[in-house]
Amino acid sequence: MTQNDMILRHLKRYGRIAPMQALGNYGVYRLAARIADLRAAGYRIETTMRHLPNRKSHAVYEWREWQ
């Protein structure tokens, strides 16, 4: 199973994924690149920036199944 497949399966099952989840669960270091691949393949994935106090902000990617 490819990294793209693992990320897509996670998004469909849980609805969202953050970079640390992708790294810890699937060994995916460049989540943004995998999301770009999935978008290029036609999947609709929304990006939300999360800002935590005293930490760097990071993106959270959410699966959107529009019809």
From CA 19, how far away is CA 45, in angstroms rounded?
14
pLDDT of residue 28: 97
The reported pLDDT for the residue numbered 17 is 97
* CATH top class, domain 3-63: mainly alpha
Sign of torsion over alpha carbons 63, 24, 49, 32: negative
Q: Domain extents for the chain?
A: 3-63
Q: Give per-residue pLDDT as tens, 1-52.
A: 999 999 999 999 999 999 999 999 999 999 999 999 999 999 999 999 888 7
What six digits make up the tokens of 31? 């989540």
Listed as own residue / partner, the contacts of 49-53 with beta carbons closer than 8 Å and 24 or more positions apart are 50/18
Decide if 60 contacts 48 (C-beta within 8 A).
Answer: yes
Q: What pLDDT is attached to residue 57?
A: 80
Query: Is it the case that residue 66 has pLDDT exceeding 70?
Result: no
